[in-house]
Structure 1
């Protein structure tokens, strides 16, 4: 799109990538065992914990998917943003401190499947294995969404072939995740999170000052339905299914392993309070900016592109190229790469931890050393990245669509099981298994159906059915053993002591 400025933007991207790789190398020097590699030795302060959770959460969809949705649907996108904001706050408030404390109580659990297994003292290893299976399945779709976003970025900015663009993005992400592990991911996420929020605020404000008009007034001139929360773009009132589906995205937070890992890795419970405030503030600014990018983009496209914009998920890139000097544009476009890298690296790391800790160590080499587990994790990063790359090879893939499926999968499979395990002493191992299986398979089946109630976002029935399965199964099967309930009592006591 901007061939004359190719050198300036390429130089900016290269500088950004070098900085990220240097951070990864420094983290590599600080990583000596599996605890360091998968959780950074539980040393995260509030700023890296908060921004790493936010950046790994939002991914490339924050700069591509959400602006693209706002471009297509107008103010309707605020329902989605509101659901995510409420979910962010609730996750930090309800789950963070309890999960961190309980993970330490259960002999320093490093992964979510490992925590669930130790929480219920599952000697069969089925809870850990099934949880790890769902992590691998849904993260392949989630990671591939990031690679699709990377492909669109390099395709648009540099005019590369889509396949080549996806491969380049994959190599960039794997390079520092492979060596630096959790510390590299978290420290780079801190930088990337700040860059993402800054870009999302600077771009629409600068575009409006450049003469694209006042958002509300001009949107009314384009299509009055774009400025109402209650109607779709076709003028028909939004149904309760549409509104609940959009708001229900917030329910997914309680089951996202890559976000929950930040709670486990935080230094102290007190740091989580500060981190929550930072995370919520960052989310407000970032999502407001993302929605504004889509709305302002409508004005720009109306005035400057007679044929419209075929792929609305490229609206952020279009505005950046139209408004800013090539060097500044390069920095702002690097924010997309930051968003992609910050999530894909976390997803690859959590997936590799599931492969190494929850499959390899549990079923293949129970006496494997921490160094061996770390090596298996690194090999897992490469293998999983290759599979995700294969899934991302279609240029017609939607970033938001891929994220939507994976987000629902995690939210339904893990959310109810995790929350009830933190609050309900009577929950047992059979209930946890039922919740994981029912939640995960509900998403897969519901996604294949359509029409009427089946248009409801699959995370809603998934969470309802999973919660019901946990409660009924736990009540109709034997109560947990005394050692399990004693451990629960110890966790409740630690909640007070750790504060």
Structure 2
């Protein structure tokens, strides 16, 4: 039996299991609400692991370990920033957003929520936010497809072009079939697989080098800079790496998990589960890259693939150190990370087109069945565009993710944060924040001013825009103020408030 045969069998079993879940979810998908948000029925465990898995894409097992392997432990500032940002997002936004979307016309999508929250009868907010989603998510989807292609290319010796289609096909299929429930249920399975892979792999790597102290000594001997948290970094560089945490407030695929929880009370337990999962996964990913330095320093003859592309380090270590059957299971974790994020990104893009453009402007009277099928068609269309963007074999996962992450973090993050925290925010403030944030990211990215990650100026300028334009605007209407007060009271548990569905 060849090296790749057990892996191929493992991959096929894994993909088959995901498709089976998709078919089961299909039987539970009765209308468009189910397809987009699963009928707001997720419990704490599924909410937590689904949010985590949809957040941590192929970047977790490829981009981050690769960055650590090439530059040393100093790259782990990204992980620290992400942990802080995720915790604040769970604490400040998750429960509030769950309640506020319910009180604002039972909104299913972010554009839907913005339109109802700010009484935007012109629907400008809906159009702008849907376009922002389509722009940055298509780039984000391309990063997932690149990660999947790298996996199939390295594991099975496929050409990049063939691997591109192989890596995307299964994800597209179960997202097409099962919608949000399929994505959320499979995310739970995939999150479990990812944490297993990221705990066991660095342990075996350290053991193969001779233990923790020997591994650290080899890393120091190669370069003492590898263990320096400040290696080559100035204040701006550290702020840029930590700034990744700001992105959480504006990621539609993560915020959708909060909106789909069965109640805001579920969020407290989900936060504890989600943060524990995230910390363990990020620590594992950092350890894979860090101790991988020691392994390949001791075994330079095996370092060919990794020296060409550091993002292949997890794949290379798994293939070298594990029995092919076990390696197949562990490498399925990369496929899990890719599929979990790509599937929910495709779904959010689909919902933006279907709910916020097709239904809102073209077919207001469209039936639930029609919307579900249009949603499925849009999944396919967005996926094909993303595959076209991913066709360049020189693409790097981390580069694509950083651009899309910044775009959402700056365009939506301040708007979402202020919308659930500040009752004086207005429609013009939201519109200004969204536009200023998105434009700042695009312009800053092109000019690379100060070597500062574009999410930071984007987030700051968008926040200033929200405050200035809201204060210059007339005060929110009494109906808007009432809805905010009722949602805020329900979240804080001050009064038992029944569901409001007026806009």
TM-score calculated relative to the size of structure 1: 0.96
Q: Equivalents in 2 of 1:442, 1:28: separation in Å? A: 41
The alpha-carbon deviation at position 54 of structure 1 amounts to 0.4
Structure 1 runs of 4+ aligned residues shifted over 4 Å read none
The Cα offsets for residues 415-454 of structure 1, whole Å up to 9 and x where unpaired, read as 0011111111111101110011000111000000135x2x
Name whichever of 374-383 and 300-309 sits farther off. Answer: 300-309
Aligned twin of 1:235: none
The Cα offsets for residues 10-61 of structure 1, whole Å up to 9 and x where unpaired, read as 1111100110000000000000111100000011011111011001101000
Aligned twin of 1:217: 217
Q: CA RMSD in A?
A: 1.2
Instruction: Work out whether residues 149 and 399 of structure 1, in 8 Å CA contact, stay in contact via their aligned partners in 2.
Output: yes
> Are 1:274 and 2:269 matched, yes or no?
yes
Aligned twin of 2:11: 13
Aligned twin of 2:227: 227
The alpha-carbon deviation at position 342 of structure 1 amounts to 0.3
> Are 1:207 and 2:202 matched, yes or no?
no
Q: Equivalents in 2 of 1:305, 1:172: separation in Å? A: 35
SS at structure 2 position matched to 1:4: coil
Q: Mapping of 1:393-472 within 5 angstroms?
A: 393-451=391-449, 453=450, 455-472=451-468
Alignment partner of 2:69 out of 68, 71, 83:
71
Alignment partner of 1:481 out of 469, 477, 484:
477
Q: Equivalents in 2 of 1:341, 1:488: separation in Å? A: 36
Instruction: Work out whether residues 192 and 335 of structure 1, in 8 Å CA contact, stay in contact via their aligned partners in 2.
Output: yes
Q: Equivalents in 2 of 1:392, 1:447: separation in Å? A: 19
Aligned twin of 1:247: 242
Name whichever of 19-28 and 208-217 sits farther off. Answer: 208-217
Q: Equivalents in 2 of 1:328, 1:112: separation in Å? A: 41
Alignment partner of 1:127 out of 110, 113, 125:
125
Q: Mapping of 1:279-358 within 5 angstroms?
A: 279-306=274-301, 309-358=307-356
Relative to 1, partners in 2 of residues 1:229 and 1:169: Cα closer, same or farther, differing over 3 Å? same
SS at structure 1 position matched to 2:262: coil
Relative to 1, partners in 2 of residues 1:74 and 1:498: Cα closer, same or farther, differing over 3 Å? farther
Mark the runs of 5 or more structure 1 residues left unpaired by the alignment.
Answer: 233-237
The alpha-carbon deviation at position 240 of structure 1 amounts to 0.8
The alpha-carbon deviation at position 485 of structure 1 amounts to 1.1
Q: Mapping of 1:375-386 within 5 angstroms?
A: 375-386=373-384
The Cα offsets for residues 83-123 of structure 1, whole Å up to 9 and x where unpaired, read as 01111111111101100000110121000110011000110
Q: Equivalents in 2 of 1:225, 1:71: separation in Å? A: 12
Q: Equivalents in 1 of 2:192, 2:200: separation in Å? A: 12
Instruction: Work out whether residues 268 and 498 of structure 1, in 8 Å CA contact, stay in contact via their aligned partners in 2.
Output: no
Mark the runs of 5 or more structure 2 residues left unpaired by the alignment.
Answer: 498-503
Q: Equivalents in 1 of 2:281, 2:217: separation in Å? A: 23
Q: Equivalents in 1 of 2:226, 2:291: separation in Å? A: 12
Q: Equivalents in 1 of 2:218, 2:25: separation in Å? A: 48
Name whichever of 212-221 and 410-419 sits farther off. Answer: 212-221
The alpha-carbon deviation at position 213 of structure 1 amounts to 4.6
Aligned twin of 2:170: 172
The alpha-carbon deviation at position 373 of structure 1 amounts to 1.5
Q: Equivalents in 2 of 1:4, 1:488: separation in Å? A: 62
